[in-house]
Amino acid sequence: MRTEVSSFGEFRLIDHLTRNNETMNAGTLLSVGDDAAVIDQFGRQCVVSTDMLVEGIHFDLTYTPLKHLGYKAVAVNLSDIFAMMAVPTHITVSIAVSNKVSVEALEELYEGIYAACERYNVDLIGGDTTSSRSGLVISITAIGEVAPDKYVTRSGAQANDLICVSGELGGAYLGLQLLEREKKIFLENPGVQPDLQQQAYLIGRILKPEPRADVAEWLKENDIVPTSMIDVSDGLSSELIHLCNKSNTGCVLHEEKIPAHDDARAMAMQFGLSITTCALNGGEDYELLFTISQNDYDKIKEYAHVTVIGYMTAPEQGLQLVTPSGGKHTLTAQGWNSFDTH
């Protein structure tokens, strides 16, 4: 029998491969299937997450400066730790690289890695550097800490909880489209240098995302304990489906509430794309998507960095996107899948 990897998709594949995973250590509090795992370390708790970035799949060195790539590789891992409401403390970095790459290029990559470590007060404590026959591969494991049982999983949301998202969505996807367009133009007309200065916001969203440490911190300071949380790496739709599936809820998502930056709206228009589609299916925004009890609404409503975009429902009500005109659509996961054969 032969089943194609592409027929599974990334999430179902990892679910499938780890379906018989039984944990043996009593200290393993949360295993595969959330933003990070949680292990009990002598009374306090340690949160662990890992991510792999592959050249040609997750990044294109044509328009990704190595320093930015190093920074982003760390940032996306830390985002998983913040999405557990934990604080990252340490990372390990493994890199496979063609021996055609210069040491200076690797230094640039590490400059970005160190810049992110410094910004988020994280120590680089280990790594492996090895040769690769083809492209660059970066694998990072992030470790964080959290007070006992204060971590937030994907599975605690209940009907009537409010669905909140930090920042603005869709920008990273539009930034990527912009870079891809400029790359194409450049390859066809090597004389034309792209001028992307006007698009600093969108380019920044794709090349230099920042994990929302600030939002996680604000929630703690204001004694708001999210009932569930995930970071938006694969698009709002896919992440919200994760929360609903893990929490066994349905949801109502109000299209007109989905936050987007003006530059993103304008660029979506230019590309003839719906900004809602960019937010739902684009991915790489690295914002925090979470649910809170309605009791916390008064605390959060004035906070500029978070928008309430809907609410959880009973599971039998399904996953609904409500348009401004009152139309109802079922949310489907069209998020990014690295195994797609397009």
Distant-in-sequence, close-in-space partners of 37: CB < 8 Å, separation ≥ 6: 28, 30, 31, 47, 48, 49
Q: How far apart are CA 117 and CA 5, in angstroms?
A: 34
Q: List the interface residues with a copy of itself, window 20-39 (CB under 8 A).
A: 20-21, 23-25, 27-28, 30-32, 36-37, 39
Nearest approach in angstroms of CB 270 to a copy of itself is 29
- Could you tell me where the DSSP H helices lie in 223-296? 236-247, 262-271, 275-281
Nearest approach in angstroms of CB 113 to a copy of itself is 9
Q: List the interface residues with a copy of itself, window 136-155 (CB under 8 A).
A: 137, 139, 141, 143, 145
Q: Are 87 and 44 in contact (CB under 8 A)?
A: no
Number of residues that bind a copy of itself (CB under 8 A): 85
Tell whether residue 130 is a contact of a copy of itself (CB under 8 A): yes
In angstroms and rounded to an integer, the radius of gyration of the C-alpha atoms of the chain is: 20
Tell whether residue 61 is a contact of a copy of itself (CB under 8 A): no
Identify the helix (H) or strand (E) that includes residue 220: helix 213-221
Nearer to a copy of itself, 33 or 204 (CB): 33
Distant-in-sequence, close-in-space partners of 2: CB < 8 Å, separation ≥ 6: none
Can you tell me which of 65, 115, 119, 135 binds a copy of itself, judged by CB under 8 A?
Answer: 135
Strand, coil or helix: what is 332? coil
End-to-end CA distance of the chain: 24
Tell whether residue 54 is a contact of a copy of itself (CB under 8 A): yes
Q: List the interface residues with a copy of itself, window 71-110 (CB under 8 A).
A: 89-90, 92-97, 99-104, 106-107, 110
Stretch that binds a copy of itself, among 113-121, 205-213, 254-262, 281-289 (CB under 8 A): 113-121
Q: List the interface residues with a copy of itself, window 321-340 (CB under 8 A).
A: 338-339
Q: How far apart are CA 263 and CA 242, in angstroms?
A: 29
Laid out side by side, the sheet with 123-131 consists of 28-30, 37-41, 44-54, 137-146, 87-97, 123-131
Backbone angles phi, psi at 272, to 5 degrees: 70, 30
Nearer to a copy of itself, 93 or 240 (CB): 93
Can you tell me which of 60, 64, 127, 259 binds a copy of itself, judged by CB under 8 A?
Answer: 127
- The position carrying tokens 């007060």 is 121
Tell whether residue 122 is a contact of a copy of itself (CB under 8 A): yes
Nearer to a copy of itself, 89 or 334 (CB): 89
Nearer to a copy of itself, 139 or 228 (CB): 139
Nearest approach in angstroms of CB 31 to a copy of itself is 5
Tell whether residue 42 is a contact of a copy of itself (CB under 8 A): yes
Tell whether residue 179 is a contact of a copy of itself (CB under 8 A): no
Nearer to a copy of itself, 81 or 203 (CB): 81
